[in-house]
Amino acid sequence: MFHYTLRRLMFAVPTLFVISFIIFALLDLAPNDPTGNLPLTIPPEVREQIRMSLGLGEPFHIRYLKWLQQFFIAEPLNFIEQAFGIEIGNSAERVRIRSWATRSPVVDLIVERMPQTLWVVGMSYVVGILIALPVGIISAYRQYSWFDQIGTFVSMVGFSVPTFFTGVVLIVVFSVYLGWFPSIYDTTHRVTGWDSFWVQVRQMILPVMVLALYNAAQLSRFVRASMLDNLNQDYVRTARAKGMKERVVLLVHVLRNSLIPVVTVIALGIPTIFSGAIITEQIFRVNGLGQLLIIAIQGADIPLVQTLTFIFAVLIILCNLIADILYGILDPRIRYD
């Protein structure tokens, strides 16, 4: 298992290089321009100077190598310095990856956005799992019962109705008519006590519910299908024949085996938490990583888009690896050595 992990990690390095090159080339080829969103009152000559000051005058391969150098050397060094409060070499002269729109280091922007994305999108993932597990289990155990029918219907709706629709419907009902929850997420809010905690919960409810419905819809189908597969297995009959309680059969024998594929699905979904929920973040103005990415794309802020998408690529590869290893641990029949 250890060798397997090591081999996979070594394979990941060339894969990531290829990915970073493809992202960079695609962004370079895309017909987009960082001065495109400026008012037309800024004359064309000035736009050309702006492009030059952003380094667009240099050839493609130089810009790519510079980015590699900044991402793999300058940024990690800076991180180490910040984490341990030491200075390595001449840190004032070190060139960090800077966003073209904000002119600030890209990594700082990402770190600033992390909390709200993890809180809202991460929480919705957790809530989604907590809803999906019981719904999936009961639906499978009582297949074709009214509970199963309703569960199937709700998850179909949750899966097929887009979040930009459910989000706006929830705002109109709960913010405009009832006035219970705010429609705009306040990223400046700090939790200092019970009162402010309650404010935080209130402003999280709507976006978390929208995303949780979507996540739960997907996951509950997985749980149900996996449970159904196992319920008809011989070992279930054996367990019942031994005289075990139905609760034990279901929750110990069947559930544990059914969760093996579900756990991998959950692990594979973790990168999507970090990439944020672009649409939901926009609707509720959560302004997390998803919103950062979409603004960067619209404004042709290439360094920001490049860095963000590359970090997502790293997370996806890592989570794939974790899912594979977890599978091996959970199911001893599947070992890759």
Site residues for other proteins per CB under 8 A = 31-33, 35-50, 52-54, 98-99, 101-105, 108-109, 112-113, 168, 171, 175-176, 179, 182-184, 186-188, 282-283, 285, 287, 291-292, 295, 298-300
Residues 6+ apart with CB under 8 A from 10: none
CB of 84: closest distance to other proteins in angstroms? 22
Distance CA 251, CA 249 (A): 6
Structure tokens at 70: 């900044």
- Following CA atoms 298, 303, 309, 313 in sequence, which dihedral angle do they give, to the nearest 10 degrees? 170
CB of 157: closest distance to other proteins in angstroms? 23
CB of 176: closest distance to other proteins in angstroms? 5
Distance CA 244, CA 238 (A): 9
Contact 142, 148 (CB under 8 A): yes
CB of 113: closest distance to other proteins in angstroms? 8
**Closer residue to other proteins (CB): 120 or 300:** 300
**Closer residue to other proteins (CB): 46 or 251:** 46
Among 210, 160, 161, CA closest to 183? 210
CB of 185: closest distance to other proteins in angstroms? 9
**Closer residue to other proteins (CB): 136 or 303:** 303
3-state helix, strand, coil in the chain (%, to 5): 75, 0, 25
**Closer residue to other proteins (CB): 8 or 94:** 94
**Closer residue to other proteins (CB): 93 or 337:** 93
User: Given its phi and psi angles, is residue 182 left (phi above 0), alpha (psi -120 to 50 degrees) or beta?
Assistant: beta
